[in-house]
Chains A and B, each alone.
Chain A
Amino acid sequence: MAWSRDQPLVRLRDVHKTFGGGVEVLKGVSMDVKKGEVICIIGPSGSGKSTLLRCINALVPIDKGSILVEGQEVNDPKLDKLALRRKVGMVFQQYNLFPHKTALENVMMAPVHVLKRDRKEAEAQALALIARVRLQGKEAAYPGELSGGQQQRIAIARSLAMNPDVMLFDEVTAALDPETVKGVLVTIRELAEDGMTCMIVTHEMGFAREVAHQVYFTDGGLLVEHAPPKQFFANPRDRRTRQFLDQIL
């Protein structure tokens, strides 16, 4: 079945995941994300938000259900994981830059070695991406020489270098010093405004309100409710959502 642009880019149906030890972190999650859509997923710790993202690019295999990315089934033993991951970019809470490589090399590595792009061409693209995340002049710096926020922006550039169709952000500002958070959020907002499909797990409510087209609330391995941000924050329908928002706002 060919995927067409008007169908959801990412489509989850009844996704279940139990970790070894019997902890069921996803208890039947379904959602659709359209091309160009920006969704934010919020919810208490341990509600399965990060696992949900990791399932989409097959870092974590699911037990039951279906995940389609551009029509390709992720829950399939014959899945070409590498092909999937070229389409799905991911940015982590701990940045996970390669510490023995410079910022430029971090961004260039996958295009050169995975996509087999010409080195010159990949370098030009990497320089442009580093400029896009506003870190010109830091190309030759090693991750250890950059602040957390700067490292995170390089990590975003590294993901973008693969020209993904969807970007997953897993609490990317949670480990940052407060003064460096804004730069990262600005970078993500600009991406979203450029039409990148984004799935963002975050605790930054103000940011979610600002950039999201849809806000999802997870609790206990389930998607409790979702709504456009205005409606979500003004009139949450579910009791658990109201409790959560009361606690943090």
Chain B
Amino acid sequence: MIANRSDMAVLKPFRIGAAEPWHFTIWPGVALIAALIVAVGIGEAHAAAAERPGIVATILKWTPLLAQGFALNIAMSFLAMAIGTAVGVPLGLAQISLLPPVRGGSWFVTQFFRNSPWLVLLFYCMLLLPFEVRVGDVVIPLPGWLKSTIGLSLPVMANVSELVRGAVRSIPFGQWEAAESVAMSRAQTLRMVILPQCIKRMTPPWMNLYAILTVATPLTSVVGVSEAMTLTGDILSSEARTELLVPMYLYLLLWFFLYCYPIARATLALEKRFQVR
């Protein structure tokens, strides 16, 4: 690119893809592990001085419990993503409906939940949903983790709705015209021409949304769900050792990082691949 070669002090054009954005390099992971090692080291020194069990030994002792809590985080993220997508896709399609009331209503619902703080939605779900639902003679209990999963699925739903609307609108208008000119109906055009092309465009941002949702699941600790964040707090209060504080939370961070970072990488790789066509 000749345009990028200049000896003069000019602002060079910004090239997308020229370098990986900083948040997609491995450095955050390295920094996190380095911080953990330093924190453990300092903690070990303290522990040795006070003749208490080592930091590493303590962390390992609690790891099975932490893993249980983390499994709940993952389960909630899966379920919230599934519910949010299952409801969000029809909601997004309603946003491109030809019927103004349907379009307006779905637009309002989408904007409402997309622009509400996740934590507020969580509180609403915890407080407004009953602790059990009675369907005939069957009583379905609604434990806290399930209620907060529903709470998390609301913003996911709204974001998926926007993804669908945006993806449909990003398909060139000529695709609609071409389908119409071979006498395809609107429903056929959507189903066979527009949506198949949308899926490809939607996958990377959808995965990105999943990663955001996963790191948001510790919010549920505020409303008392026994997930990894809550359990970390419980562990720390039962150990009652200040030198554990920093290593333990860093350890928790590492779990989330190791889970979400590959998703971010895969998202980037998919985006790059789709750009070629």
- Chain B CB within 8 A of A226 CB: no
Q: Is the CB of B174 within 8 A of A96?
A: yes
Check A110 against B184 for contact (C-beta < 8 Å).
yes
Most B C-beta atoms less than 10 A away, residue of A94, A96, A109, A144 = A96
Asked if residues B182 and A98 are in contact (CB atoms below 8 Å), the reply is no
With a CB–CB cut-off of 8 A, which chain A residues contact B183?
A: 82-83, 85-86, 110, 114, 162
Say yes or no for A90: interface residue by CB 8 A criterion.
yes
B175 at the interface (CB under 8 A from A): yes
- Closest B-chain residue to A168, C-beta based? B181
Minimum CB–CB distance for A160 against chain B, Å: 10
- Give per-residue flags for B168-183: 1 if the beta carbon is below 8 A from chain A beta carbons, else 0: 0000101101111111
A92 at the interface (CB under 8 A from B): yes
A81: B residues at CB distance < 8 A: 180
Give chain A residues whose Cβ lies under 8 Å from the Cβ of B177: 59, 90, 92, 96
Bound CA–CA A159/B182 (angstroms): 7
**Taking the complex as formed, is B23 at the interface, i.e. its CB lies under 8 A from any CB of chain A?**
no
- Assess whether A59 is in contact with B180, with CB atoms less than 8 Å apart: yes
Given the contacts A96-B175, A100-B196, A144 and B181 also touching, CB distance less than 8 Å: no
In the bound complex, residues from chain B placing their C-beta under 8 Å from that of A158 are 178, 182
A interface secondary structure, majority? mixed
- B276 to chain A: closest residue by CB: A144
Q: Identify which of A100, A110, A144 contacts B182 (C-beta below 8 A).
A: A110
Write the nearest CB–CB distance from A101 to chain B, whole angstroms. 8
User: Do A94 and B182 touch across chains, with their CB atoms under 8 A apart?
Assistant: no
Contact of A99 among B182, B184, B277 (CB under 8 A): B277
Q: How distant is the Cα of A57 from the Cα of B200 in the complex, in angstroms? A: 31
A97 at the B interface (CB under 8 A): yes
Report yes or no: A109 in contact with B192, Cβ–Cβ below 8 A.
yes
Of A88, A97, A110, most B-chain CB atoms within 10 Å: A110
CB nearest to B178 among chain A residues = A96
The answer, yes or no, to whether B59 is at the interface (CB within 8 Å) is no
Known: A92-B174, A96-B175, A144-B277. A85 touches B192 (CB 8 A): no
Q: Decide if B116 is an interface residue (CB 8 Å cutoff).
A: no
CA distance A59 to B183 in the complex (A): 11
Complex-state Cα separation, A100 to B185, whole angstroms = 19
Instruction: Confirm or deny: A221 has a beta carbon within 8 angstroms of a beta carbon on chain B.
Output: no
A113 in contact (CB, < 8 A): yes
Rounded to whole Å, the gap between the CB of B183 and the closest CB of chain A is: 4
| B182 adjacent to A114 (CB under 8 Å) | yes
Question: Provided the pairs A109-B192, A110-B183 are in contact, do residues A92 and B178 lie with their beta carbons within 8 angstroms?
Answer: yes
Q: Does B121 count as interface, using CB distance less than 8 angstroms?
A: no
Q: Which of B152-205 contact A (CB under 8 A)?
A: 172, 174-175, 177-185, 188, 192-193, 196-197, 200
Report the nearest B residue to A161, measured CB to CB.
B182
A85 x B277 contact (CB < 8 A): no
CA–CA, A82 to B174, complex, Å?
17
Contact partners of B174 in chain A: CB under 8 A: 92, 94, 96
B66 to chain A, nearest CB (A): 44
Across the interface, which residues of B come within 8 angstroms of A100, CB to CB? 196-197, 200
B residues within 8 A CB of A109?
A: 182, 184, 192
Minimum CB–CB distance from B160 to chain A (whole Å) comes to 21
Query: In this assembly, does A149 line the interface, its C-beta being within 8 Å of a C-beta of chain B?
Result: no
Closest Cβ neighbor of B171 among chain A residues: A99
If A82-B185, A110-B184 touch, does A98 touch B193 (CB 8 Å cutoff)? yes
Minimal beta-carbon separation of B41 from chain A (angstroms)? 54
List the 7 shortest-distance A-B pairs measured between CB atoms, nearest first: A96-B178, A110-B182, A96-B174, A85-B183, A90-B181, A82-B183, A86-B183
Binding site for A on B (CB under 8 A): 172, 174-175, 177-185, 188, 192-193, 196-197, 200, 277
Apart from A88-B181, A155-B178: 15 A-B pairs, beta carbons within 8 A: A59-B180, A82-B184, A83-B183, A85-B183, A92-B174, A94-B174, A96-B174, A98-B175, A99-B197, A110-B182, A110-B184, A114-B182, A158-B182, A161-B182, A162-B183
A–B Cβ pairs within 8 angstroms, 24 of them: A59-B177, A59-B181, A82-B183, A82-B184, A85-B183, A86-B183, A88-B181, A89-B181, A94-B172, A96-B174, A96-B178, A97-B178, A99-B277, A100-B197, A109-B192, A110-B182, A110-B183, A113-B192, A114-B183, A114-B184, A155-B178, A159-B181, A159-B182, A161-B182
A: residues with CB less than 8 A from B are 57, 59, 81-83, 85-86, 88-90, 92, 94, 96-100, 109-110, 113-114, 144, 155, 158-159, 161-162
